[in-house]
Chains A and B, each alone.
Chain A
Amino acid sequence: MNSNTATKAKPRKHPVVLFIHKLGSPPWFYDFAGKFIPWLWLIFGVLTVLGLYLGLVKAPEDYLQGQSVRIIYLHVPAAWMSMMIYSSMAVMGFIALVWRIRIVEILAMASAPIGAAFTIVTLTAGSLWGRPTWGTYWVWDARLTSELVLLFLYLGVIGLYNSIDEPRKAARAACLLAIVGAVNLPIIHYSVKWWNTLHQGSSISLMGGSSIDSSMLYPLLIMAVATKFYYGANLLTRARIKLLEQDKRKAWVREILKEKN
Chain B
Amino acid sequence: MDHTPFIIAAYSIGFVVLLWCAVAPLMRKKSIARDIRRLIQIEERSRDPNS
- A residues lining the B interface (CB < 8 Å): 56, 66-68, 70-71, 74-75, 78, 113-114, 117-118, 120-121, 124-125, 128-129, 131-132, 230, 233-234, 237-238, 240-241, 244-245, 248-249, 253-254, 257, 260-261
Contact = CB atoms under 8 A, between A and B. Distances in A.
Interface in B7-44: 7, 9-11, 13-14, 17-18, 20-22, 24-26, 28-29, 32-33, 35-37, 39-40
Contacts of A113: 21, 24
A42 to B, nearest CB: 14
Interface of B is mostly: helix
Nearest to B36: A248
Contacts of A131: 6
B7 A71 contact: yes
Contacts of B17: 117, 120-121, 124
A74 B13 CA distance: 11
B46 interface: no
A136 B6 CA distance: 12
Contact of B25 (A70, A120, A241): A241
Nearest to B6: A128
Query: Interface size bucket, B side?
Result: 20 to 34
Contacts of A125: 10, 13-14
B47 interface: no
> Is chain A's binding surface mostly helix, strand, loop or mixed?
helix
Contacts of B29: 240-241, 244
Given A67-B3, A120-B17, A257 B33 contact: yes
A249 B42 CA distance: 12
B34 to A, nearest CB: 10
A260 B34 CA distance: 12
A244 B32 CA distance: 8
B17 to A, nearest CB: 5
B47 to A, nearest CB: 14
A124 B13 contact: yes
Contact of A124 (B7, B14, B33, B40): B14
A241 B30 CA distance: 9
Closest 10 pairs (CB-CB, A-B): A117-B21, A67-B3, A125-B10, A128-B10, A68-B3, A121-B14, A128-B6, A71-B10, A241-B29, A124-B13
B10 A75 contact: yes
Contacts of A56: 7
